[in-house]
Amino acid sequence: MSKKAIIFDLDGVIVDTAKYHYLAWRELAIQLGFDFTEAQNEQLKGVSRVRSLEILLDLGNVSLEEEEKTKLLIEKNNQYLEYIAEMDHSEILPGIDDLLHYLKLNKVPFSLGSASKNARLILETLELLDLFDAIVDGNDVSTAKPDPEVFLIAAQKLGVDPENCIVIEDAQAGIEAANKANMLSIGIGDEKVLQDANYILNDTSELTIDFIQKLID
């Protein structure tokens, strides 16, 4: 049996930060004169910061100069950083801490595969950074999810073939990226949004050690 590895998305899988991304984008939308719903926010999950702003502006029918967009990207990130500065261990999603420690103990390799440029900061704050065998984040890729690049780099860093990697994702773009990378995909969240995943779980409490163990045996 070949060695299996796990690639974790960050926001909405390891930590409950997806809500802070949403709040920060919504504040920006309101400032620009339109509302931004949670349903619309699904389109922003997993995609890069720059692409998120483009989608948001399209939704609001707003067109801006590059300079203004750059200003808004900084503003959004500063707002987001204010939220995450308050974050503590309680915002690690249910079962994740135990699962990561179990994998470490059992020498199952695992990597981060996130679009976020704040990933290292968040994992450090939560004292989880050192557990990971590899970190691939928004600073390491040239093409964002749904492109598979982030997951393919993670597989390479782990030294495991893509078809032996299992991706855990809460975003439609992430599931698409995992499928394109020829990896097994586990979606966490709404089955209508994540319908292309190989497995769909309602939340991370269903991502039990048993469930994962069966996939890596």
C-alpha of 214 from chain center = 23
Nearest to 119 by CA among 72, 170, 80: 80
123 binds Mg ion (CB under 5 A): no
- The residue among 108 and 175 lying less far from Mg ion, judged by its C-beta, is 175
* One-character DSSP codes across 55-86: HHHHHTT----HHHHHHHHHHHHHHHHHHHHT
Are 135 and 119 spatial neighbours (Cβ–Cβ below 8 Å)? yes
Task: Please state, in angstroms and rounded to a whole number, the distance separating the CA atoms of residues 197 and 205.
Answer: 18
Q: How far is the CB of 25 from ligand BG6 (least distance, A)?
A: 8
Q: How near is the Cβ of 42 to Mg ion at its closest, in Å?
A: 11
Q: Which does 21 bind (CB under 5 to 8 A by kind): Mg ion, ligand BG6, none?
A: ligand BG6
* Pairwise CA distance, residues 191 & 211, whole Å: 18
Q: How far apart are CB 188 and Mg ion at their closest, in Å?
A: 8
Q: Which residues pair with 7 in a beta bridge?
A: 111, 167
- CB-wise, 10 or 184, nearer to ligand BG6? 10
User: Which residues bind to ligand BG6, rule: CB under 6 A?
Assistant: 10-11, 21, 44-49, 52, 77, 114-118, 138, 171
Question: Rounded to the nearest whole angstrom, what is the least distance from the CB of residue 83 to Mg ion in the complex?
Answer: 16
Structural contact between residues 187 and 197, judged by C-beta atoms closer than 8 angstroms: yes
11 binds Mg ion (CB under 5 A): yes
140 labelled catalytic: no
Q: Which does 149 bind (CB under 5 to 8 A by kind): Mg ion, ligand BG6, none?
A: none
> In the stretch 141-180, what mask flags binding to Mg ion with x, by CB under 5 A?
-----------------------------xx---------
Cα–Cα distances in angstroms (integers) from residue 99 to residues 3, 80, 94, 176, in the given order: 18, 27, 10, 24
Q: Is 11 a catalytic residue?
A: yes
Active-site residue list: 9, 11
